[in-house]
Amino acid sequence: MKDIIRKQFDRLRARGAHYVDTRWYPYEDSNFLYMWNGNLKANNASSQSGLGVRVLYNGAWGFSASSDLANPEAIYEKAFDNARIASERVTFPVRLAEKDAIVDSFNSPNEIDPFTIGLDEKVAFLKKMDEALNQPGVVQRTSMVEFVRKQIIFMDSEGSEIEKNIIEVFPRIGVMGFDKDGGMQRLTYMPGRKAATRGWESIDEVDFLKNADRIVGELNQLLVAEDAPSGKMSVILLPGIMFLQTHETIGHALELDRILGYELSFAGGSFVRLEDFGNLRYGSEKLTARANALEPNSPGSFGYDDDGVPAQDNLLIDKGILVGAITGRQMVEEANAKAKRQIFDGSSGANRATSFYRVPIERMTNINIDPGTDGSLEDIIANTEYGLVLDGDKSWSIGSNREQFHFACDIGWLVQDGQKKQVVKNPTYRGETLPFYNSLSAVGDESTWHVHYVENCGKGAPNQIMQLGHGIPVCRFDNVQVGE
């Protein structure tokens, strides 16, 4: 297949293509198991393979993909023709930032390939979780686990050939019950990752059982709890909601394709402008954020992106000042040209596609907040006069330029005079992005930090789902509007 691909590169280059690349997926397998109230509702396996071809011609992209590999030339021909027609409407000809031609491979770290584990053992894990969750107060219980393994062969007309072998494991448990007012309450647990691997061994049964007990206990407190208060107060966001706050209002806001207007017809833009890099105060001095694609145990780490650029660790926000973005080869060239200054030195290696049949776009890697110096969760609570501790991502809604947001959380605890008090239900908060991050008044230390994965980030047209991560500490924000 590699010889066929190289021949097609030569053929299209001879016809005037500036650049051609291919992602060949010899296989992408997944296995999804979902148990609901003891019923194994999903026991699904899937497999796919195919070619995705990207052609740059006269400053415009064409893409084509197919699972039919009997006639690969036809896929290249369609991609070339798509680029040719696209070149009839070009305003800023696509240029790609320089990169080295790389021949290498990447294997995601894992000790036990989950596909070598028998179905019986996987079902046994779900049954054990289901039994652990089957306690008074729980009306519904869910346990699920998804396994993915894929091989991606990336080749481009600049001489890169990169083989990636990636394995992922995504487990989750949850409980639901009806509160004293008849409202539905739910809590979920997905483990943070402090280990250095991401295979079957990352499923820690002891940890799951401990957290099964925890969420059942918390659910029972929610069922008799009063509604969360409303008004302006401090909010202490645990990683179970802070990851999503970061994801939506730092991660998406700093994708360079959004900043340059490439997502306006669907996901939206960004309030960030090119002139903001290097001087916009995004948050208080306690806020340092980075895109770190080198975390070993996260789906946001992949060795090389789908431009063939090595994974990197880059600062996005340095002590509150905006300094970086999530970028690929195309967007950094356009941004530097439009800004008439060198904002970006090169691609940050964040151009990724969800499958062989989708085109790579700027995606988050691991968008992390650095741990702070404000101690443990208990220390932060002890230094809080009045507010809420919040956890769980019940709902999220963000303005089209990521300038404002509204979140509902699964659970809250009232904090008064430095003490964590009773559980409150249905907590919500909203804010405007910049004032909110400038109200960041405490960042927890390493003891509060863990990597939280996201398995379903949606973006792009055609739509794409992506897996990524967030390394997040506990954070406190002051004067936040709660309860609307």
Partner 1 sequence: MSQKVIDLLKKLRKAALDRNLKVLLQYHEEDSYLMRFANSAISLNTNEHLVRLDMVAFDDKKQVSFSLIVDPADFATMEQGLDRLVEMLPHAEPLSYVPTFPVFSKNVFDERAFDPELAALSNQERLDYFNILAEGLESDDVKLSGIFSSGTTTTAQISTTNEHAQYFRSTDAQITAVLSSESLKWEVNAEQSAQKKSDLDPEGLHEDLALLVKHYQEDQAVQLPVGKYTVVLGPAATAELSMMMGYFGMMGQAYKQGYSFLKEEDQGKLIFSEKISLADDPDAVELFAKSHDQYGFERKKFALIEDGKFGSFMWDQDSADEFGQNPTGHSVDNVSVVMSGGDKEVSTLKELLEMEHDEDILYIPYIHYMNVVNPSQGMVTGSSRFGALYLKKGGGVQVPFNVRLTQKFTDFFGERVQWLSKKQVAYNVSSSYGQRNPMALLVPRFICVKGIEISHSNPSY
Site for partner 1 in 119-178 (CB under 8 A): 119-120, 123, 127, 139-140, 176, 178
Q: Note whether 194 binds partner 1 by CB under 8 A.
A: no
Contact with partner 1 (CB under 8 A): which of 101, 103, 264, 337?
Answer: 264
Of 35 and 381, CB closest to partner 1: 35
∠312-313-317 over CA atoms, to 5°?
135
Q: Is 484 in the site for partner 1 (CB under 8 A)?
A: yes
Verify binding: residue 101, partner 1, rule CB under 8 A: no
Cβ of residue 396: shortest distance to partner 1, in angstroms? 6
Q: Based on the shown chain and the rule CB under 8 A, indicate whether residue 64 belongs to the binding site for partner 1.
A: yes
Smaller CB separation from partner 1, 86 or 443 = 86
Interface with partner 1 in residues 270-309 (CB under 8 A)? 271
Q: How many CA atoms lie within 13 A of 294 on its CB side?
A: 10
Query: In the complex, what is the shortest distance from the CB of residue 443 to partner 1, in angstroms, rounded to a whole number?
Result: 26
Rounded distance between C-alpha atoms, residue 107 and residue 217, angstroms: 39
User: Residue 188 or residue 401: which is nearer to partner 1 going by CB?
Assistant: 401
Does 265 interact with partner 1 (rule: CB under 8 A)?
Answer: yes
Measured CA to CA in angstroms, residue 172 lies from 77, 300, 309, 481 at distances of 43, 18, 32, 31
Phi, psi of 118 (to 5 degrees): -70, 155
Interface positions, 339-358, toward partner 1 (CB under 8 A): 357
Residue 162 is given by DSSP the state E
90 CB burial (10 A radius; 0-12, 13-18, 19+): exposed
Interaction between residue 38 and partner 1 (CB under 8 A):
yes
Which 308-337 residues touch partner 1, going by CB under 8 A? Answer: none
Residue 217 interacts with partner 1 (CB under 8 A)? no
The C-alpha atoms of residue 259 and residue 264 are separated, in whole angstroms, by 9
Residue of 20, 83, 225, 443 that binds partner 1 (CB under 8 A): 83
39/342 with CB nearer partner 1? 39
Question: What DSSP designation does 250 have?
Answer: I
The smaller minimum CB distance to partner 1, of residues 165 and 355, is found at 355
The DSSP symbol for 483 reads -
Q: Which of 152, 219, 260, 326 binds partner 1 (CB under 8 A)?
A: 260
Count CA within 13 A, CB hemisphere, residue 470: 25
Residues in 444-463 at the binding interface with partner 1, rule: CB under 8 A:
458, 461-463
Q: Quote the least distance from Cβ 70 to partner 1, whole Å.
A: 6
Closest C-alpha to 394, from 197, 279, 222: 222
The stretch near partner 1 (CB under 8 A) out of 3-11, 41-49, 207-215, 345-353 is 41-49
Q: Closest CB to partner 1 among 103 and 178?
A: 178
- Binding region for partner 1 (CB under 8 A) out of 3-11, 33-41, 305-313, 441-449: 33-41
Closest by CA position to 77, among listed 88, 63, 89, 67? 63
Stretch that binds partner 1, among 113-121, 144-152, 203-211, 285-293 (CB under 8 A): 113-121
Question: For partner 1, which residue of 2, 10, 45, 422 counts as binding (CB under 8 A)?
Answer: 45
Residue 66 in contact with partner 1, rule: CB under 8 A: yes
Binders of partner 1 in range 379-418 (CB under 8 A): 394-401, 403-404, 406, 408
Closer to partner 1 by CB, 43 or 447: give it. 43
Q: Does position 103 bind partner 1 by CB under 8 A? A: no
468 with 246: CB under 8 angstroms? no
User: CA of 285: how far to CAs of 2, 364, 370, 409, 441, in Å?
Assistant: 50, 23, 12, 26, 9
Q: Tokens in use for 7?
A: 């021949």
Question: How far, in Å, CA of 194 to CA of 452, rounded?
Answer: 10
- 90, 103, 196, 224: residue in contact with partner 1 (rule CB under 8 A): 90
> Do 4 and 137 contact (CB within 8 A), yes or no?
no
**Cα–Cα distance between 129 and 147 in angstroms, integer?**
17
Options 84-92, 196-204, 233-241, 444-452: segment touching partner 1 (CB under 8 A): 84-92
183 touching partner 1, by CB under 8 A? yes
Does residue 85 interact with partner 1 by CB under 8 A?
yes
Shortest distance in whole angstroms from residue 135 CB to partner 1: 17
Distances (CA, A) of 442 to 95, 281, 317, 385: 42, 17, 16, 13
Are the beta carbons of 311 and 305 closer than 8 angstroms? yes
What letter would DSSP give residue 182? S
Locus of tokens 């789906």: 299
Tokens found for residue 146: 């998804």
Nearest CB to partner 1, comparing residues 16 and 183 = 183
Closest distance of CB 427 from partner 1, Å: 11
The strand ranges marked E within 298-379 are: 313-318, 321-322, 351-352, 361-362, 367-369
Q: Which is nearer to partner 1, 65 or 475 (CB)?
A: 65
Closest to partner 1 by CB, 194 vs 340, is 340
Angle at 100 between CA 97 and CA 104, to 5 degrees: 130
Q: Which of 167, 166, 165, 121 is nearest to 146 (CA)?
A: 167
Number of residues forming the site for partner 1 (CB under 8 A): 84
